[in-house]
Amino acid sequence: MTLENRYKPRIALFDTDKKWLCSAARAVNLNRSYELDWVIDLSFIMDRFIDTTRCLGISSNNIFWNKTDVPLRIMYVPHPVYEKYVTLVNPEIKEMSRRTFESVEGCAAFPNKGFRVRRSCYVRLSGFAMRNYELKPVELEYGTDEKILSPKNRNLFETAWIVQHELDHLEGILLKDKAVSSFEVDE
């Protein structure tokens, strides 16, 4: 059976899946093997959505499926060091810089909308990264608190806002409630 048939996953839209999007994701129970299977399967589903949409990161809240009543605490985001994506399970913020920057973001839940939102320049996370179908505890740093805005820092800021955007999703927080302003985007 394909993942599509098994889980009936779809991109959650604010207009139709508000409750799902606004639910706080629940932590994955790492002692239950069937929940680890969900992590593996959701990783594949997320990877496919990253390939077929313009999303730069994705969280369980973005994907409605028939397996759980609320989203699971899982996000699929760029790795801060390597040029690849990583599945992070039960991510928690350990540190966030007080310094912020304004980022311009889109969101799969709001097609054709753009948002301006303030994000921390630096964030440090803990969680479990999936590698070879196993979860390993990790601590990852995104962004920089350095004042100089170099082209390199601009890339760092992009991954920094992506993880903060997805972490917000896991708390049920949406851009429309957090953004400084929003605007329409043409297809």
Binding site for Zn ion (CB under 5 A): 107
107 vs 125, which CB is nearer to Zn ion? 107
55 vs 96, which CB is nearer to Zn ion? 55
Q: 83: how many CB neighbours lie within 10 A of its CB?
A: 6
Q: How far is the CB of 4 from Zn ion (least distance, A)?
A: 22
- Provide CB contacts within 8 A for 72, sequence distance 6+: 25, 26, 27, 28, 35, 38, 39, 42, 60
Q: How far is the CB of 176 from Zn ion (least distance, A)?
A: 10
Q: How far is the CB of 16 from Zn ion (least distance, A)?
A: 15
Q: How far is the CB of 1 from Zn ion (least distance, A)?
A: 29
CB 50 within 8 A of CB 62: no
The residue number with the shortest CB distance to Zn ion is 107
3 vs 173, which CB is nearer to Zn ion? 173
Strand boundaries in the chain, DSSP class E: 10-11, 58-59, 63-64, 74-78, 85-96, 100-105, 113-120, 122-131, 134-143, 181-184
107 vs 140, which CB is nearer to Zn ion? 107
